Amino acid sequence: MKLLKYIALVTILAACKGRVEQEIIVASPIDISDNEITNYVEYCNNRFDICMNYPSNFNPEPEPTNGDGRVFSNKPDGAEIRIFGTTFSPRTQLEEIVQSMKKELEIYNLKQDKNRVEVFGFDKENNNLYHEILIIKKQAKSKNDELCSLSFTYPHAKRKKFKSYWRIISNSFK
């Protein structure tokens, strides 16, 4: 009986000729629609006491040694979020910043009040849409104020995808 089992096993192996089928899996990038589901992660900068929620499909770059902010990038889509703070003096500098933006961008929307500026425009040079919020924070114990900035740039061709991102990012900026 054992001999018959052994002969049957040898016959089966001989029929297979020692070949083993292999499955080859090739990974290819997936195309994610403009309506992808995105989770958000909170980032806070303790030096300037600012926070925002950024999309989880953006990668944080290393924080600079001075701790003034951070850059988050989505390289496949060519999008970037920047959040930073800086000391700021005197008040007239805000108007200079706005004038500089007007030279560099085709401004679609500009809202400005005493301590806040919101800009939405188009950078013709690199074909990107540009959003930015600037907030001036008064410092009680200092002659200098703090200027906190949140900006978001992305290719014009990706506007459908990123339009909703800005709404969430900007509403979380505090």
- The pLDDT assigned to 26 comes to 52
Mean pLDDT for 146-164 is: 91
- The pLDDT assigned to 35 comes to 53
pLDDT above 60 for 9: no
Q: Which of 144, 139, 90, 136 is nearest to 116 (CA)?
A: 136
pLDDT tens digits, one per residue of 121-133:
999 888 899 999 9
Mean pLDDT for 67-79 is: 93
- The pLDDT assigned to 28 comes to 46
pLDDT tens digits, one per residue of 93-145:
778 888 888 888 888 998 988 888 899 999 988 889 999 998 888 776 667 78
Is residue 154 within 8 A of residue 78, CB to CB? The reply is yes
Cα torsion angle, 157, 158, 161, 166, sign: negative
Q: Which long-range contacts (CB under 8 A, 24 or more apart) does 68-75 make?
A: 69/45, 69/149, 70/43, 70/45, 72/43
pLDDT tens digits, one per residue of 23-37:
555 544 444 445 566
pLDDT interval class at 146 (50, 70, 90): confident
Q: Which domains does the chain have, with CATH numbers?
A: 33-172 (3.40.1000.10)
DSSP 7: H
pTM of the model: 0.74
Using DSSP's 3-state secondary structure scheme, residue 35 falls into coil
How does strand 40-45 pair with strand 145-155? unpaired
pLDDT above 80 for 3: no
